[in-house]
């Protein structure tokens, strides 16, 4: 029953006996007095606690044996405001922005009855959640799908790219893609390659903290992205997120030079090997890197992909038979995440030679966060070069995998694969 999602045994009986449902606003007298909303619980939890969302946005668990009194202030229906907003009129003097939702909390709302996070489907709901947006741009919304970012697969990248391509000649000033943060830089890199030269800017936006928390970064990231799209006078694919834990600066990272470097901080995303391309500070857009770091292309979309690409993170004790299984499974490319300047152990050499003889492209990246692959410094690196492994300069390993999927999706010829992997397409290398 959704009215008691996650509750069982003693906690379920406690709520029922007091005629309290999930989503009800309550006042609880325990060690101190608490006010908030009864929240659903996760599966497989005990029956000794209830969960209360405080006005601060944080959830706490209260042991029912220590609750002296619980009173209902109002039911969930009286707390629901997003659904009752009037429609948003389009302002002809403002630029137009398209928001494509793929999931995550950046463009979502919480149903306190069920605890589900659902996408904001309309401009009205978005305006209600972030009213500042209506003063910056006209936001039109479209939901492509609603997935946690770990469930976003290459097929989703294709759908996003095909959808975005349809708007290459539209009157939009830019396109926002609402996306979960964990795999956001994989999606941004695929769009960067497949839609290189797209005439208007694209910004992927996420949030590290859910929109019901006082420390949420959702609204500020979204506002910053919209300002960036309407005022930056650039193109390309970017990720727009908090620069750090403060609310003063939103950073816009080039989509092929960024990765998520922290699990939970609001400033989790960082540009590798350079500064963020743009900063939004005090409502102004600041260009933060030199022009030479931006790739310039004519728009010629190539929306294809081949998932038969492996990322091999070498470590002491890595079993070469695992690499042989990749070869036997028909993979077209292998990206090594090697140690230091680009090395793997000599126990791997016979299988690497086999891969080379089969015409499988092999690229070398580094496990180090920053710096370049240089395989001519040590004998082991030179041996690997001789066995056919190609150094990929300072390309980020995850980005190299996505690029290899894109390249092998567009050609099967080894020489063309090698040429395109080493060719600057979307600022994936830096000088």
Which of 5, 105, 256, 271 is an active site residue? 105
Per-domain boundaries in the chain: 2-79, 82-293, 309-422
Can you tell me the distance from the alpha carbon of 422 to that of 134, in angstroms, rounded to the nearest whole number? 43
- Assess contact for 40 and 59: CB atoms under 8 A: no
Coil vs helix vs strand at 62? strand
- Residue 395 CA, distance from chain mean position: 19
* DSSP tag of 243: S
At CA 22, angle to CA 151 and CA 72, rounded to 5? 155
Helices vs. strands in the chain: H and E counts, helices first: 11, 21
Can you tell me the distance from the alpha carbon of 66 to that of 74, in angstroms, rounded to the nearest whole number? 23
Which of 47, 111, 182, 383 is an active site residue? 182
The one-digit pLDDT tens for each residue of the chain (431 residues) are 467 888 989 999 999 999 999 889 999 999 999 999 998 887 677 899 999 988 877 789 999 999 999 999 876 554 444 344 445 678 989 999 999 989 876 655 665 555 555 656 565 666 667 888 889 999 998 989 888 899 999 999 999 999 999 999 999 999 999 999 999 999 999 999 999 999 999 999 998 876 666 567 888 999 999 999 999 999 999 999 999 988 889 999 999 999 999 998 989 999 999 999 999 998 899 998 887 778 788 999 999 999 999 999 999 999 999 999 999 999 999 999 999 999 999 999 999 999 999 999 999 999 999 999 999 999 999 999 999 999 999 999 999 999 999 999 999 999 999 999 999 999 999 87
CA nearest 397: which of 311, 321, 328, 325? 311
The CA dihedral of 9, 12, 16, 17, to the nearest 10 degrees, is 50
- Based on the residue annotation, tell me whether 260 is a catalytic residue of this protein: yes
- Do the first three CATH levels of 82-293 and 309-422 match, i.e. the same topology? yes
- Based on the residue annotation, tell me whether 122 is a catalytic residue of this protein: no
- Assess contact for 427 and 294: CB atoms under 8 A: yes
Euclidean distance between the first and the last CA atom of the chain, given in angstroms as a whole number: 58
In this prediction, residue 214 carries a pLDDT of 59
In this prediction, residue 116 carries a pLDDT of 54
Q: Is the dihedral of CA 63, 64, 66, 71 positive or negative?
A: positive
Q: How many CB atoms lie within 10 A of CB 86?
A: 8
Which of 5, 102, 181, 230 is an active site residue? 181
Can you tell me the distance from the alpha carbon of 110 to that of 99, in angstroms, rounded to the nearest whole number? 19
- Assess contact for 288 and 277: CB atoms under 8 A: yes
- CATH top-level class of 309-422: alpha beta
Look up residue 198 and give its two tokens: 């797209």
CATH of range 82-293; options 3.40.50.620, 3.40.50.720, 3.40.50.360, 3.40.50.1170 = 3.40.50.1170
CATH architecture observed for domain 2-79: Roll (2.30)
Main-chain phi, psi angles of 106, to 5 degrees: -65, -35
- Based on the residue annotation, tell me whether 247 is a catalytic residue of this protein: no
Which of 260, 332, 408, 430 is an active site residue? 260
pTM of the entire predicted model? 0.86
- Based on the residue annotation, tell me whether 163 is a catalytic residue of this protein: no
Q: Is the dihedral of CA 165, 170, 176, 180 positive or negative?
A: negative
Look up residue 38 and give its two tokens: 């009864």
């Amino acid at each position: 029953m959704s009215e008691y999602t996650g509750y069982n045994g003693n906690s379920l009986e406690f709520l029922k006996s007091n005629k309290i449902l999930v989503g009800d606003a309550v006042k609880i007298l325990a060690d101190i007095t608490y006010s908030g909303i009864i929240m659903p619980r996760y599966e497989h939890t005990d029956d000794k606690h209830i969960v209360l969302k405080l006005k601060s946005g944080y959830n706490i668990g209260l042991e029912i044996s220590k609750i002296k009194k619980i009173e209902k202030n109002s039911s969930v229906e009286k707390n629901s405001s997003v659904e009752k907003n009037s429609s948003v009129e389009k302002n002809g003097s403002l630029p137009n922005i398209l928001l494509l939702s793929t999931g995550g909390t950046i463009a979502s709302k919480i149903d306190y009855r069920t605890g589900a996070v659902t996408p904001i489907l309309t401009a009205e709901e978005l305006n209600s959640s972030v009213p500042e947006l209506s003063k910056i741009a006209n936001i039109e919304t479209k939901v492509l799908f609603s997935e946690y970012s770990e469930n976003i697969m290459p097929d989703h990248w294709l759908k996003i790219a095909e959808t975005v391509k349809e708007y290459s000649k539209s009157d939009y000033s830019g396109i926002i893609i609402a996306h979960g943060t964990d795999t956001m830089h994989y999606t941004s890199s695929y769009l960067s390659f497949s839609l290189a030269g797209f005439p208007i800017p694209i910004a992927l936006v996420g949030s590290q903290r859910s929109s019901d928390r006082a420390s949420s970064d959702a609204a500020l990231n979204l506002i910053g992205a919209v300002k960036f799209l309407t005022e930056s006078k650039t193109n390309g694919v970017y990720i727009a997120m908090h620069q750090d834990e403060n609310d003063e600066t939103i950073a816009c990272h080039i989509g092929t030079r960024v990765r998520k470097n922290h699990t939970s901080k609001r400033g989790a995303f960082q540009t590798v090997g350079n500064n963020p391309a743009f900063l939004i500070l005090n409502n102004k857009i600041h260009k933060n890197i030199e022009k030479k770091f931006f790739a310039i292309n004519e728009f010629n979309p190539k929306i294809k992909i081949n998932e038969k690409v492996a990322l091999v993170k070498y470590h002491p004790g890595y079993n070469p038979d695992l690499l042989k299984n990749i070869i036997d499974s028909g993979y077209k490319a292998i990206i090594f995440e090697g140690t230091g300047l680009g090395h793997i152990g000599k126990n791997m050499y016979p299988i690497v030679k086999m891969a080379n003889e089969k015409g499988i492209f092999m690229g070398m990246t580094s496990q180090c966060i920053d710096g370049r692959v240089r395989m001519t410094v040590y004998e082991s690196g030179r041996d690997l070069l001789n066995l056919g492994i190609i150094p990929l300069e300072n390309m980020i390993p995850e980005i190299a995998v996505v690029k290899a999927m894109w390249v092998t999706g567009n050609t099967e010829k080894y020489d063309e694969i090698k040429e395109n992997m080493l060719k600057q397409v979307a600022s994936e290398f830096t000088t």
